Amino acid sequence: MQGKLLDLQGKDTEIAQLEYKRSSLPAIETKSELEVSFARARDQHIAAEVILSDLEREALKSEGDVDVVRQRVAKDQEMLDSGAVNDPKQLLNLQHELESLARRQSDLEDLELEAMERVEGAQAAVQVLAGQKAEFAIQLKDITATLNSELANLAVDLAETQSEREALASGLPSDLIALYEKIRRSHQGVGAAKLHRGQCGGCRLALPPQELNVIKAASPDAVIQCEECRSILIRTAESGI
Ligand SMILES: [Zn+2]
């Protein structure tokens, strides 16, 4: 009868191992690392898009500045070509203005080109970060699927082991189960251990010969506990008594 307690202990140990496995699956850590990486890539992507939109606005303004000067040049040139200005001083002024506008246009065009290059650089950065974000999203989706399937498998194993455990427990006296549970709770999950060649299977304590003699003389139904770890000691043919 007491031998079944060892089977129960076996099932409880198995359950504890499955629960430990469930909480320490490598996919859990991988998933949380990927969540961090994805969030970082997403934030960087958003920041890069903000920078890009600022630079696009600057480039547009730069383009507008060049347009204003171009229109002014066209207007002056038209006036010059029309022959409407005859006064030599006015003509000279107009020519000076055109020269100064040409310099200004060239400067502004350089600035426009630089602004466009900055936009292109920012566009490239946005694209790289969007790619990284998408890659992390795929990896995150994959690891989530892996983790969920591992958890589902463990849940099946756990439910199966639990029900085997319940079947075993129901075949044992309730006071013995109660004692076993009480010891198990306060002793790292161990409530019953085999007495093997005079040693406690729970804590490896070698029992003194006089203690073994007492156990040998006890009735098979008597509950014997290890003095060291409190485990219920289960006697077998190899107990050494
Ligand atoms: Zn012990």
Give the start-to-end residue ranges of the domains of the chain: 17-170, 174-235
Using the mean position of ligand 1's atoms as its centre, give its distance from the Cα of residue 194 in Å: 9
Q: What are phi and psi of 233, to 5 degrees?
A: -85, 125
Cα(21) to ligand 1 centroid in Å equals: 26
The torsion angles phi and psi of 13, rounded to 5 degrees, stand at -65, -40
Distance of CA 175 from the midpoint of ligand 1 (Å): 20
> How remote is the CA of residue 192 from the centroid of ligand 1, in Å?
9
Tokens of 136: 């992390």
Q: What is the pLDDT of residue 2?
A: 85
CA 227 to centroid of ligand 1, rounded, Å: 7
Distances in Å between the Cα of 134 and the Cα atoms of 94, 130, 148 are 58, 6, 21
What separation in Å is there between the alpha carbon of 235 and the centre of ligand 1? 13
How far lies 161's CA from each of 63, 154, 179, in Å? 73, 10, 21
CB–CB of 48/181 below 8 Å? no
Closest CA to 143 of 41, 21, 29, 36: 29
For residue 212, the CA-to-ligand 1 centroid distance in Å is 13
Distance 195 CA to ligand 1 centre (A): 9
Beta-bridged to residue 236, according to DSSP, are: none
Distance 218 CA to ligand 1 centre (A): 18
How far is ligand 1, taken at its centre, from the CA of residue 190, in Å? 10
Q: Phi and psi for 98 in degrees, rounded to 5?
A: -65, -40
Per-residue pLDDT of the chain (241 residues; tens, 9 = 90+): 788 999 999 999 999 999 999 999 999 999 999 999 999 999 999 999 999 999 999 999 999 999 999 999 999 999 999 988 889 999 999 999 999 999 999 999 999 999 999 999 999 999 999 999 999 999 999 999 999 999 999 999 999 999 999 999 999 999 999 999 999 999 999 999 999 999 999 999 999 999 999 999 999 889 999 999 999 999 999 998 8
CA of 201 to the centre of ligand 1 (A): 6
Centre of ligand 1 from the C-alpha of residue 158, in Å? 28
Q: How far apart are CA 198 and CA 144, in angstroms?
A: 50
Cβ count near 197 (within 10 Å): 11
Q: Could you give the 3-state DSSP secondary structure of residue 232?
A: strand
To the question of domain 17-170 being in CATH 1.10.287.1700, the answer is yes
Name 234's bridge partners: 194
Distance CA(202)–CA(204), nearest Å, equals: 6
Q: What separation in Å is there between the alpha carbon of 176 and the centre of ligand 1?
A: 17
Q: How far apart are CA 170 and CA 47, in angstroms?
A: 62
H helix runs in the chain, sequence order: 3-23, 26-82, 88-170, 174-186, 209-217
Supply 15's token pair.
């359950």
CA of 1 to the centre of ligand 1 (A): 20
Distance from the alpha carbon of residue 100 to the mean position of ligand 1, in angstroms: 100
Burial of 236 (0-12, 13-18, 19+ CB in 10 A): middle
189 Cα: distance to centroid of ligand 1 (angstroms): 13
